[in-house]
Amino acid sequence: MYIPVFQRKILLITLTAISLSISTFLASPPAQADETCLSPYMAKIVGQEDFVYVWTLGVVGMGDEQDKLVTLDVNPKSPNYGKVIHSLSVGGRNEAHHSDFTDDRQYLWTGGLDTSKIFIFDVHTDPAKPRLHKVIDNFVEKTGGLVGPHTFYAYPGRMLITALSNNKDHSGRTGFAEYSNEGEFITTHWMPTNENLRNAQKMGEYADGYNYDLRSLISRNVTLTSSFTGWSNYMMDFGKMLADPEAMKHFGNTVVVWDSHTRQPKQILDVPGAPLEIRFAWGAQNYYAYTTTALTSKIWLIYEDQTTHTWQAKAVADIGEPSKVPLPVDISISADDKILWVDTFMDGKARAFDISDPHNPKQIYEKVIGKQINMVSSSWDGKRIYFSSSLLANWDKKGEDDEQYVKLYQWDGKELAHQWTVDFYKEKLGRAHQMRFGAYSLYPEYRQQSTANIAQTVIK
């Protein structure tokens, strides 16, 4: 069978990535680090992470007022453990939001939901001091009108980028784009809508065309996208939006099932209430994912029916008291598929759900982390849980309730034990949003360094 040159190159890259992942897994010691929500194509950290990179929103009247990438030293053997060791501002305030690495882990892509700018950082030349490598300032033009780059998801040699809005009406109707690792635009994939289903099967009431997160399950050739809201809402004051009946109508209610290879939408599932982060299970034969709905405070299971081999969606648990709208935000699944961490912004709580039975999650633990909370990042071994505070500049709480931090807790299976807090307001850095792990062990030139040498590198 003849395979075109381009497809052969993609196949070779994919097979190489899978081969490297398997080799790394087999050669690694039992305890691994690294967040459990990252792309399976991505190089993984083995052992203790050295850094947490925090994509941070600038605040008027604080420090230089700019968005910035903040580097925290998180290696317990370092003399700078739990401290800020580097900060790099990018100019202006862009509504800094999400970020992620290329598949080779050499570059960290970050986005601004307001300006639609993308900032690409070199994190391999000196992992302790990332450098601004490239700025993409024509995302809207190149993609045909996408606004608000959100999720960055690594595929072999390229980056998939979801968007939250469009430049025509600033609603949530949108799509996702593909870029090369070098930062060159490749193509745009628009979400299916009632007016244009793009040959997808509509499984329920909705085909709203909204987007938010994107995650893939390689073994089933399946990608899932979720849905949120557009620029008009996420840039509005939170209290004003909640009091606006018309604004509250404009939230997504769908999860779309895609063919990962062809990027063709296959099914549109009803998941009412603004489904946000998607987290696939890691088990080799666990063909399911979780998401949570911000407005209805429920955990949803998205799973493959083993009889029909179609994908289904069902609500499987409540989060707190839904009538009080605790506003679930970020989630993290443990590498053994037994625990799902759920953060709820309004009450500042982290909750652990036992998901040993995927269809019947049970809450087993909760703890107040702060007056507000947003992101959660769990190490691969499940022992270290990091939390950050900021949701959106205009949605964060006001006054004394506006806490901005990154906190580390140790988890022993029963209790979260606080290790340290970095107060981003006290450090005059701004609003701490998303976290990503970094490590010297990822890069050959650093692997032979002793702990002492690494410590000296950080100090300098």
From first to last of its 460 residues, the chain has per-residue pLDDT tens of 444 444 444 444 444 444 434 333 333 333 445 787 889 999 888 789 999 999 999 999 999 999 999 999 999 999 999 999 999 999 999 999 999 999 999 999 999 999 999 999 999 999 999 999 999 999 999 999 999 999 999 999 999 999 999 999 999 999 999 999 999 999 999 999 999 999 999 999 999 999 999 999 999 999 999 999 999 999 999 999 999 999 999 999 999 999 999 999 999 999 999 999 999 999 999 999 999 999 999 999 999 999 999 999 999 999 999 999 999 999 999 999 999 999 999 999 999 999 999 999 999 999 999 999 999 999 989 999 999 999 999 999 999 999 999 999 999 999 999 999 999 999 999 999 999 999 999 988 886 554 444 444 444 3
CB 328 within 8 A of CB 294: yes
Separation CA 48–CA 44 (nearest Å): 11
pLDDT at position 63 is 97
CB 265 within 8 A of CB 256: yes
Domain count, the chain: 1
CB 233 within 8 A of CB 171: no
pLDDT at position 449 is 55
pLDDT at position 15 is 44
- The answer to the question of residue 292 being in a domain is no
- The answer to the question of residue 454 being in a domain is no
- The answer to the question of residue 220 being in a domain is no
Give the domain extent around 2.
Answer: 1-30
Rama region for 57: left / alpha / beta (φ>0; ψ in -120 to 50; rest): beta
Pick from 378, 379, 392, 372: nearest CA to 433: 392
How many angstroms separate the Cα of 67 from the Cα of each of 58, 90, 111, 445, 451?
Answer: 4, 6, 10, 30, 32
- The answer to the question of residue 20 being in a domain is yes
Counting beta carbons within 10 angstroms of the beta carbon of residue 444, is it exposed (0 to 12), middle (13 to 18) or buried (19 or more)? exposed
pLDDT at position 20 is 38
Burial 250-270 (b: 16+ CB within 10 A, else e): bbbbbbbbbebeeeebbbbbb
pLDDT at position 35 is 81
Separation CA 421–CA 5 (nearest Å): 51
pLDDT at position 33 is 55
- The answer to the question of residue 26 being in a domain is yes
Separation CA 207–CA 6 (nearest Å): 33
Place of tokens 């490239």: 134
pLDDT at position 44 is 86
pLDDT at position 26 is 35
- The answer to the question of residue 7 being in a domain is yes
